[in-house]
Amino acid sequence: MKLMQGSKQFVVKDPRKAHLFYMPFSSRMLEYTLYVRNSHNRTNLRQHLKEYSEKIAAKYPFWNRTGGADHFLVACHDWVCSLAPYETRHHMEHCIKALCNADVTVGFKLGRDVSLPETYVRAARNPLRDLGGKPPSQRNILAFYAGGMHGYLRPILVKQWKDKDPNMKIFGPMPAGVASKMNYIQHMKRSKYCICPKGYEVNSPRVVEAIFYECVPVIISDNFIPPLFEVFNWKAFSIILPEKDIPNLKEILVSIPAKRYMDLQLGVRKVQRHFLWHGRPLKYDLFHMTLHSIWYNRVYQIKPR
């Protein structure tokens, strides 16, 4: 929202000239103000989103022209991502939802919704801090993973591979602190493959992190629609495995020919620019690519007369 508002290229004062309408709300503020922690009760959240869309429809004429098909919302917190596709299916059915939880089993709709890259911006003033990694010849770790035991899949991964093979650096949560963070980053910079298992939801910030550090992402998450799939062939720069293949993980990675790995790593470096945030948007960066995906899905929904 900040980047859109800061550019005349993307915002028009006359709504009749707009191609799309952004529905701004803070999912974090909704969580703090409406959700009763650990209650698992989302009734008040459902009601808020319903009233939100009804207010827009009553106050402005633009929603009713298309049933909300030219309106979009953006959310990346786990509870909103899982809430939005399912709980808005009745009163916000046609609205475009840009979500990190691009899970086709919980209401994410191909051709309407947008898979939002889940990113962790380390420093707002310098979002490109620590960008890049070792060249392929200096990546002496076959595979790396470290993180919290969110969801059912990560404990399976850690139980299968932790302390089992020196080439498979698979850990649980790393200790808190700056030194631990730097250790995590250095492992990514030195690894050929970065394991990106799903957590509570299908997406993981490790996918974009791996690209950031020029490590080939190994995505293990059934039913996940990867970001920017309308534009990119993910097989050209990542490995996508079914969850059942965790026991065979090393065998699969070792069987990849050196030439294939080099092509994948080059692919990561080629697409990297499209997964980066900047203080001011640069052509083809993640800001532009996300808006392109939203625009693309809007066009996709328009039926020829």
Residue pLDDT tens, the chain, 305 long:
888 888 778 888 899 999 999 988 777 777 778 777 777 677 777 788 888 888 888 998 898 888 889 999 888 865 554 555 444 555 677 889 998 889 988 888 888 999 999 988 878 788 999 999 999 999 999 999 999 999 999 999 999 999 999 999 999 998 888 788 889 999 999 999 999 999 988 999 999 999 999 999 999 999 999 999 999 999 999 999 999 999 999 999 999 999 999 999 999 999 999 999 998 899 999 999 999 999 999 998 877 66
C-alpha 196, offset from chain centre: 12
What confidence score (pLDDT) does residue 123 get?
A: 80
Dihedral over Cα of 92, 99, 41, 44: its sign = negative
Q: Look up tokens 């989103």; give the residue.
A: 49
Q: Model pTM?
A: 0.89
**How many Cβ atoms are within 10 Å of 106's Cβ, its own excluded?**
17
- Measured distance CA(44)–CA(132) in Å, rounded: 43
